[in-house]
Structure 1
């Protein structure tokens, strides 16, 4: 299944996708730098259509204790808008620690400075997607 993953943030929104076999994940650049939720939702829907996504996965930024705060509420609002506008299934996925994991990956590859800022959220979206795909392998047939 072709999936579009979204790491929604206040300043930047990262995107990533996978191939139909769910084996290869790829960050989509450039990141979305729009700030208004409706504009971000519109761009997410455009990208989903461009890549022929069959599902959209949106990171859910839970607090470390598993509760939901203001960021989670914003992500849920984005998800509702995207689901209405795209006519695709939208799933929320726990994104705790993904930015840290993405930063570690960029450290390992020697990516720093402005280049890091340009891709960090897209790499985070890739981490979200890879985590979800690993879960799907253990739960075949579930979405």
Structure 2
């Protein structure tokens, strides 16, 4: 049994998709897509969500190359997560996010969501997929 919620992040260069688990740690819900401005502002916005939603752990998608190695994007994610950890004091786990954006895009297309709307929610949905995968892996059911 978890106490508090887990926040899922899909960190990109322009946006950060944010999802939060329910209190039981069973389901992930999309919260928002943060338009990135500066590290300071991005982290402030995350801290507000953490406080508001009583988050006590973070799971960030970690982009890897198809062969499992870490590329430049993965390095950027690790660096930002280090800052987030310093600022929030929360533990951060990483989840292999290969193909999560592809999965998010596919489910939006299947749901007949217009291209313009897809662009707005794809990162948030990717965060939901990352967090849900993590929650499912920890599930005792």
> Gaps spanning 5+ residues in structure 2: where?
none
Equivalences for 1:1-143 in 2 at 5 Å? 1=2, 2-29=5-32, 31-137=33-139
Q: CA deviation at 1:104?
A: 1.1
TM-score (norm 1): 0.90
Inter-partner Cα distance in structure 2 for 1:45 and 1:65: 34
Q: How far does the alpha carbon of each residue in 1:55-96 deviate from its partner, in whole angstroms, 9 at most, with x for none?
A: 011110011100001101100011111111111111111111
CA RMSD, 1 decimal: 1.5
C-alpha contact 1:42 1:82 (8 A) present in aligned 2: no
Deviates more, 1:104-113 or 1:38-47: 38-47
1:91 partner SS: strand
2:65 partner SS: coil
Deviates more, 1:98-107 or 1:15-24: 15-24
Inter-partner Cα distance in structure 2 for 1:80 and 1:45: 14
Inter-partner Cα distance in structure 1 for 2:48 and 2:95: 21
Inter-partner Cα distance in structure 2 for 1:45 and 1:108: 34
Inter-partner Cα distance in structure 2 for 1:118 and 1:60: 21
> Gaps spanning 5+ residues in structure 1: where?
none
TM-score (norm 2): 0.91
